[in-house]
Amino acid sequence: MGLILMEGNEAIGWGAMAAGCNFFAGYPITPATTIYNTMLKLLPPSGGICLQGEDEIASIGFCLGASMAGMRTMTATSGPGISLYSEQISFAIGSEIPIVIVDVQRLGPSTGSATKGADGDIQFLRWGNSGGLPVIVLAPVDVTDCYVLSMQAFNLAEQYRCPVFIAANKEISMTRETLELDGLNLPQTGARRTADANTPFLPFGVKGKHLVPDFLPIGGQRLVRQTSSTHAADGYITTDPEQIAQMQERLDAKLSTSVSEFTYYDESCTAEADTLVIVYGVTARAARAAVRMLQESGNPASLLVLKTLWPVPEQLIMEKAATYKRVVMAEMNLGQYVPEIQRLLPGKKIDFLGQMNGELIKPGQIMEVV
C-alpha cells in the first residue's frame, strides 16, 4: 500500500480490518466518531457488520453477543462512553468474552471538553470493573502504533479471551500523518483456541497448563452456557467457595503471569545519562524531542516509552530503570500512572510532570524538569 496519509482513528480501523475484525458497533462521540465512520466504509463491503447502537450500553452489548457467536469485535468511544461500558466490561472479564475497546480520551471529568485531549482515563480502564480483575491496556504514540497495536489488541483479545483496551488520545487519533505500511513488522493474525465439538465440553474449563478455556460459539451445534453470574467450569452458577476461588485466581493469573509476552515499548538510551524519562501515549512525542535537545545541549537523558500499561510491565520498568539515579515521569493527567513507577522503584528519586488543562505537554517542560 506504500505511503498513506491518515489520522490515527482511521489507522485503528484499518488495523482492525487487517486483524480480521468483522463486527463493529458504536455510538457517535467526539473524538472517536471517525473510527465508526471508517468501519462503516470498510466492513460492509468485506462482508462484515457495522452497527450504530441507540446508546453506548447497547453498542458494547451488541459486540459481546457477536463475540460469543464467534465474531471478532470492536467498539470505540471516549471517557463518557467508557463510564457507560463499565457493567459490560465486567461481563466480558468474568465470562471471558474477547473484545477490543478503543478509548479515544478527551479532557474530563464528565463530558469535559470534547475537542481537548488528555490521558485521564488510565486508572479507570484498569479499575473500572466490579471485580477488580486485570485487563490489557495498550497505548499508541502515533499513527503507526494505532495500526500495529490494533492488530496486537485483536490477537490478545482472542488469545486470552478478555477485553483489550486501546488507550488513544484525541491528539493522536485526530492528527493526520503518514503511515508507511511497507516494511512494517506486522503480527500474524491469531485466533481463540477452538474446542473439540465431539468431546464433552466445559465452557469455562481449562486443560493441563492452559489458563484460557477453549471456545465454542453460542448458536452452534453444541449447547454453550453463558452467564454473568459467578460460575464454575461447567457454566452453572455456583456459591461453592473453592470453585469461586479457582475461577477468580485463574482470571487473574491468565494475564498477570503473561504480561512479558505482550510488553510493548520503545527506548532511547544514552550511556552517560543518569536520568531516565518514562512516558506513554502522545507525551512520548514531546519526550523524544526533549531527549534529543538535551543530548545536543550536553545534558543527556534516556527515554522509555511504555506501550503496554496494564497489567503493569513490572520487570521491564525495574530492569530499564536499574542503572539510573533518577526517573522523570510525564503524563497528561494529575498523576495516574506515576504511583506504579513509585511502587516499583522504592528509594529511587522520581520527579513527576503532569497537567490536565487541554494542552499538550511541551518538550521544554520536560527539559526543565530533567
Give 116-143 pLDDT, tens digit per residue: 999 999 999 999 999 999 999 999 999 9
Work out the pLDDT band at 185, boundaries 50, 70, 90.
Answer: confident
Find the farthest-apart pair of alpha carbons in the chain and give their distance in angstroms, rounded: 68
Work out the pLDDT band at 50, boundaries 50, 70, 90.
Answer: very high
User: Per-residue pLDDT averaged across 214-223, rounded?
Assistant: 90
Residues 173-184: tens digit of each pLDDT: 999 999 998 888
Query: What confidence score (pLDDT) does residue 222 get?
Result: 85
Residues 253-290: tens digit of each pLDDT: 999 999 999 999 999 999 899 999 999 999 999 999 99
CA 300 – CA 197 distance, rounded (Å): 59
Nearest in space to 105 (alpha carbons), one of 94, 117, 89 = 117
- In order of 23, 46, 98, 116, 189, the CA distances from 95 in angstroms are 19, 29, 9, 35, 23
Q: pTM above 0.85? A: yes
- In degrees rounded to 5, what are phi and psi of residue 317? -60, -45
* 5 pLDDT above the threshold of 90: yes
Which stretches of 129-196 are DSSP H helices?
143-160, 170-173
Nearest in space to 330 (alpha carbons), one of 309, 315, 352, 359 = 352
Query: What confidence score (pLDDT) does residue 1 get?
Result: 60
Residue 144, all three cell numbers: 503507526
Query: What confidence score (pLDDT) does residue 203 get?
Result: 94
CA 286 – CA 280 distance, rounded (Å): 10
Helix (H) / strand (E) containing 93: helix 79-94
* 207 pLDDT above the threshold of 90: no
Query: What confidence score (pLDDT) does residue 75 get?
Result: 98
CA 58 – CA 87 distance, rounded (Å): 11
In angstroms, what is the C-alpha Rg of the chain? 21
Work out the pLDDT band at 46, boundaries 50, 70, 90.
Answer: very high
CA 96 – CA 99 distance, rounded (Å): 9
CB 204 within 8 A of CB 236: no
Query: What confidence score (pLDDT) does residue 198 get?
Result: 83
Tell the burial category of 209 from Cβ atoms under 10 Å away from its Cβ (0-12, 13-18, 19+).
Answer: exposed
Q: Torsion angle of alpha carbons 243, 98, 66, 84, nearest 10°?
A: 90
CA 87 – CA 92 distance, rounded (Å): 9
Range with lowest mean pLDDT among 36-45, 110-119, 188-197? 188-197
* 57 pLDDT above the threshold of 80: yes
User: Per-residue pLDDT averaged across 227-235, rounded?
Assistant: 94
Nearby residues of 130 by Cβ (< 8 Å), 6 or more positions away: 86, 87, 90
CA 134 – CA 116 distance, rounded (Å): 28
CA 134 – CA 258 distance, rounded (Å): 11
Residues 71-83: tens digit of each pLDDT: 999 999 999 999 9
Given 3-state DSSP classes, what are the helix, strand and coil percentages for the chain, each rounded to the nearest 5? 35, 20, 40
Percent of the chain with pLDDT over 70: 100
- DSSP type of residue 198: T
* 86 pLDDT above the threshold of 80: yes
